[in-house]
Amino acid sequence: MMLFKSLFKKSTLECPRCLGTTFVDWDDIHRLNRTLKWAPGPCAYCLGTGRVSKEMVAQVPVDYTYLTIDLPESEMEKIKDGDEETLEKGRIHELFLDNLIKYVENQYLNNKMGAESIANLYLTTEDETALFSLERENLVQYIEKIIELKRAELN
């Protein structure tokens, strides 16, 4: 009986995202180059178990930006199953973040604008029902973080 269990048991690996700790911290975020795209929290890649299947590693890149713990479980499953529509949504989300970061950096560096002014300008151009619309308070905090990292980069 044990022979059958061992034959059909999925082999697992230490999670390459959280390195088996079950939690993605700032070190993991920096290691995977996801600064400004992730925040520390339970690992969505292994669902906080510290282990993942070999299939997961083969199907979903460890640094896939859209796979975060705040997604509904059904969306996470679609990513793991390779659902093209969901993967495209993830690519669009990544582009959105990249473009927002560039927009903020441009306004900060070239127009000498602060976080509040950039947020106000951005929100005048953004549709409230946009796919990745942001609440003003969260947007200002995010812009402040982008500016903080840009300042550190320049010094």
pLDDT at 56 over 70: yes
Query: How many Cα atoms sit within 13 Å of 78 on the Cβ side?
Result: 15
DSSP string, 42-66: E-TTTTTSSEEEHHHHHHS-TT-TT
Least confident of 17-31, 78-92, 124-138: 124-138
**pLDDT, tens digit (0-9, with 9 covering 90-100), for 42-54:** 999 999 999 999 9
User: Is this prediction's pTM over 0.85?
Assistant: no
CA-CA distance, 21 to 18, in Å (whole number)? 6
CA-CA distance, 142 to 150, in Å (whole number)? 12
**pLDDT, tens digit (0-9, with 9 covering 90-100), for 120-144:** 999 888 776 665 567 888 899 999 9
Strands 12-14 and 51-53: antiparallel
